[in-house]
Amino acid sequence: MTAESRTLRRPGRPGMHPHALGRSATPRTRFALVAGLLVLLLLGLASISIGSRGIGLDTVWAALTGGDVSAADDHAILGLRVPRTFAAVVVGAALAVSGALMQSLTRNPLAEPGLLGVSAGSAFAVAIAIVGFGITAPLGYIWFALAGAFFATVTVALIGGMSSGRVDPMRLVLAGVALSAVLSGIIGALRVSDPRTFNALQVWEAGILAGRGLDVTLTVAPLVLAALLVALPLGKGLNTLALGDELAAALGVSLWKTRVLSILAITVLAGGAAAIAGPIAFIGLMVPHAARWFAGADQRWVLLLSMVFGPILMLTADIIARLIVWPGEMPVGLVSALIGAPVLVLLIRRRKALKL
């Protein structure tokens, strides 16, 4: 019997992660998943029903089932609200799962796409697209936003020490903050030099879902789906990685493969979300903590619940954004920040909630 196997046979030993042994989900976790799916369905219907134009539920149902409705109602429901709801689901799932991967990979409970510079990388690339190529349509931003997210993620990972096989969470966070500051400074200079850039970036950086047609979301959705399919099976490896590099390697986990696939998934998910809606803060930070409250430290269930809880939070923020200044609306990115800031303060005050 090896030293590692003896270690695993001692419950409660410091450094041991009990979920690495493949314990099945608790009834509480299964309940959270089923309840979350039900809430997500109800919020989806609410998102299609609520807007600046008052439309009855019978008209909404008729439009969804191909019934006879006026052209104005048909456009409001099928042309605006359905694409917006679909975009919120895709963006919420992408941000939440990317945040869960980041927190697990870096062992940092405050990690999220914004903190590690991914959002700043996307914003920088979009600014380049506007200034250098004159692109102003959301559909044209997509590939630039993804490229910027990839650039930022790789840069922060290399500075954080992943190239040497060792991850220093503090170095990763500092690298992300430093890179965000540098890129934000460059974007600020571009704003001053070109008023057209300022106006276009101001709208994009606020984080909005209004006006995002199906063409934009359907271009990104296959990439997000592929990244989710890559991310969900990583939960078992991330559980074992929490035991420590040496023990995880002894148990047969490929550290390099787990980390590289995680980085690729984070890049596509965070970049895809930014490409659709711009930088949306706090979704990737809050949702994994909510999922962890139900699932414990088992990353398999944290990732799965995050994929359900993320769209719930995103749809909630978007519905509030439509109602808070009705008949106008606020950018959903501002509403998510208003919701997220108090939650972040609460997490910081409750140190137990920050433990991974």
pLDDT digits (tens, 9 = 90+) for 255-308: 778 888 888 898 889 888 888 888 888 888 889 988 988 888 888 999 999 999
Q: Quickly list H helices, 207-355.
A: 214-231, 234-241, 245-250, 255-277, 283-295, 299-323, 332-349
Q: What is the pLDDT of residue 24?
A: 64
Instruction: With beta carbons less than 8 A apart as the criterion, state whether 19 and 239 touch.
Output: yes
Joined together, the tokens standing for residue 292 give: 């962890």
What is the pTM for the complete model shown? 0.84
CA separation for the pair 55, 75 (Å, rounded)? 12
Q: What is the pLDDT of residue 350?
A: 65
Geometric angle at alpha carbon 158, from 111 and 127, rounded to 5°: 70
What are 335-346's pLDDT values in tens digits? 888 887 777 677
Instruction: With beta carbons less than 8 A apart as the criterion, state whether 288 and 306 touch.
Output: yes
Q: How far is CA 211 from the centre of its chain?
A: 20
Picking from 93, 87, 11, the residue whose alpha carbon sits closest to that of residue 291 is 93
What are 59-79's pLDDT values in tens digits? 888 888 877 888 888 888 888
